[in-house]
Chain A
Amino acid sequence: MHPSEMAVENGQRRSIAVRMKESWRAGDRSQVARLVIFVLALLAVVTFFSSIMTGAADASVGNLLRWLTGTETAEQALSLRDRIIIFDIRLPRAVLGLLVGAALAVSGAVMQGLFRNPLADPGLVGVSAGASLGAVLVIVLGSATFGPLFAAFGFYALPIAAFLGGLATTFLLYRIATRSGHTSVATMLLAGIAIAALAGAITGVMIFVADDQQLRDLTFWGLGSLAGASWPKILAAAPIILLSLAVVPFLARGLNALTLGEAAAFHMGVPVQRLKNVAIVSVAAATGASVAVSGGIGFVGIVVPHVLRLVIGPDHRFLLPASALLGGILLIFADMIARTIVPPAELPIGIITAFAGAPFFLWILLRGRSHMGL
């Protein structure tokens, strides 16, 4: 390349960087946010495929690449064993990880916007516990008590029950914590603890009456894991998760306005009550469906939006899609660690997210104590 051309190119590149810096200084983070979303999208693709390629059994990377680049068909490139490992085990896990991670992170971000508090999270305030209760009821009482109902809904019984459980707790929480348009954080967190304890107690009763097989199911499911990922499970959860994720972008402007308070949001033309209803239902649906297929995976909903707010700011138009991407990336990544850290056994992924997320959460608390209004 001719030196002058290089200079021009450098100049252009610098001018983009300079422009971005200038707009950042002027309080406009939309360009940085767009860049971050673009990078996250690339990263999501990379993580997704590296997850398919890593695991206790090594399906050859070279063979996989030959299939991916289309030089050979799957039958030619991969042995039967590798095909099963990739298409029936790893692919569903990666897809489920992406879905659940996106659902949890976006639910966290929406809930934080709704409660106007960066500490709200479906896991922390008992929504996940409520969803768990719904799922446990189906697992233990499913075939006996709700036999015909269970049969009618098939695969959907578990996610629907979890969704209803999550919905009930979210509504309860909102009713308790919000009085005359003002949401009290302390009340919300305390009520969340109480609701989670109550749901836990009923779950305990269910565990008490469960038989051995159900107990095993419950334990593993409760720790949180993508290990049971299968196409039927994805088929059951994906429509609910994707539907709630599809609704969420329409909430972005309203959630931004809600930052200034419910009255101010109304003054700016936001139909506040409708916004709240839609937000609550989609959080409950996404959380419920995620809990139903992957158990209790904590801290994704609080860590992901928080990290992103530090980088791109709190504008929900960018925060929500970025959260979906980063949530998916993190969960697939955590699942890769879960699968490979103690081979050939697997660690439940909930343990990993808790190990990483809980200290981070404490750090947020210490850092933001002064202006969090706690």
Chain B
Amino acid sequence: MIRASNISVRLSGKQVLHGISFEAPAGQLTAIVGPNGCGKTTTMRAIAGETHYEGNVSINGHDIARLKPWELALKRAVLPQATVISFPFTVREIVRMGLAVGGADRPEEVERIARDALEAVDLAGFSGRFYQELSGGEQQRVQLARALCQIWDPLENGEPAFLLLDEPVSSLDIRHQLTIMKLARDFCSRGGGVVAIMHDLNLTAMFADQMVMMRGGRVEAAGSPKDVMTDEVMESVFGCPMRVNTTPSGTVPFVLPHTAGA
């Protein structure tokens, strides 16, 4: 479980996070949602250990501030929003970089994992392509495959590993949005945990176990999508009145922009 307690972050003198607390248990997909500039990415950077913060972040009970970078790398992998590279690496070479961490030494196994990871993000057959020549959505999926390789078996080290995804589906078409969300769910069902920053509320409601709704550097509401996605929360967080509905089965809430009051 990832536990963030009372995290505050100042960026160039401005308080960006005001004491954020939440828990992301293993086996669950935790989605962080909220309007632009509410501190989602900063929160992600804090729990990834790359930003200086006040408060405490722990993974499976280990304070991340006390872990070495390579110890941390075995407990969590991170997918950034977009990655630009300056050297002509092939897709295969990028994906294999993720495997250099986990210490999968046996060449056949490394080969198999790299291939499986590319297949999982629907990029089988792309291994010989140059990363720089791919579209934005394809690049994002390559990076996801790379991150997956880093913690391929979510329980390999005897404790659950976590995927931290910063807008994993933002530049994907609808089919691949579903592919990636299912992949994240599958990672959870195999014992790992996922924390994802999301913008698409409906996709989030479909796949997330837990929603952390942020506004202005604070957690506004947290809980199951059904509890968090209410008319009141929508209006107070996004500042635009919308009607939340539920699917015919009555379990998954959804919201259409059409319902926004003029």
Contact = CB atoms under 8 A, between A and B. Distances in A.
Do A and B interact with each other, yes or no?
A: yes
Interface of A: 24-29, 116-118, 253, 256-257, 259-261, 263-264, 266-272, 309, 313-315, 371-373
B88 A261 contact: no
A269 B128 contact: no
Interface stretch (B90-98, B177-185, B219-227): B90-98
Contacts of A24: 128
Contacts of A371: 132
B48 A260 contact: no
B238 interface: no
Contacts of A309: 87-88
B87 A259 contact: yes
B69 A271 contact: yes
B100 interface: yes
Contact of B86 (A26, A29, A116, A266): A116
A195 B45 CA distance: 35
Interface string B71-115: 111101110100111111111111001101100000000000000
Contacts of B127: 26-28
A26 B128 CA distance: 4
A261 B80 contact: yes
Given A25-B128, A26-B92, A27-B127, A268 B101 contact: yes
Nearest to A371: B132
Contacts of B87: 116, 118, 259, 309, 314
Given A27-B129, A264-B78, A267-B50, A253 B90 contact: no
B73 A267 contact: yes
Interface in B32-58: 45, 48-50
A25 B128 CA distance: 5
B167 to A, nearest CB: 15
Given A25-B128, A264-B78, A371-B132, A313 B83 contact: no
Contacts of A314: 87-89, 93
Interface in B111-151: 127-129, 132, 143, 146-147, 150
B93 A268 contact: no
Contact of A272 (B69, B72, B80, B86): B69
Given A266-B49, A315-B89, 12 more contacts: A24-B128, A27-B128, A118-B86, A259-B89, A260-B146, A261-B84, A267-B78, A269-B73, A271-B69, A271-B70, A272-B69, A309-B88
12 contacts: A27-B127, A260-B143, A263-B80, A264-B78, A264-B80, A267-B77, A267-B78, A267-B80, A268-B101, A268-B150, A269-B71, A271-B70
B93 A269 contact: no
List the 9 closest A-B pairs by CB distance, nearest first.
A269-B73, A27-B92, A27-B90, A314-B87, A269-B70, A27-B128, A267-B78, A27-B127, A116-B86
Nearest to B111: A28
Contacts of B147: 267
Counting chain B CB atoms within 10 Å of each CB, the highest count among A26, A268, A314 belongs to A268
Nearest to B102: A269
Contacts of A270: 69-70
Contact of A271 (B68, B78, B83): B68
Nearest to B83: A260
Interface of B: 45, 48-50, 68-74, 76-78, 80, 83-94, 97-98, 100-101, 127-129, 132, 143, 146-147, 150
A256 to B, nearest CB: 6
Given A268-B98, A268-B100, A268-B150, A313 B86 contact: no
B98 A266 contact: no
Nearest to A185: B86
Nearest to B115: A26
A281 to B, nearest CB: 20
Contacts of A25: 128
Point out which of B69, B77, B86, B89 has the most chain A C-beta atoms below 10 A from its C-beta: B86
Given A267-B50, A271-B68, A271-B69, A259 B86 contact: yes
Contacts of A117: 86
Contacts of A267: 48, 50, 73, 76-78, 80, 147
Contacts of B85: 116, 259-260
Nearest to B73: A269
Contacts of A271: 68-70
Contacts of B68: 271
Given A259-B85, A259-B86, A260-B85, A27 B80 contact: no
B2 to A, nearest CB: 14
A294 to B, nearest CB: 29
B90 A269 contact: no
Given A27-B128, A269-B74, A314-B89, A264 B69 contact: no
Contacts of B83: 260-261, 264
A266 B30 CA distance: 23
Given A27-B129, A259-B86, A266 B50 contact: yes
Nearest to A257: B97
Contacts of A268: 73, 77, 97-98, 100-101, 150
Contact of A28 (B77, B80, B92, B143): B92
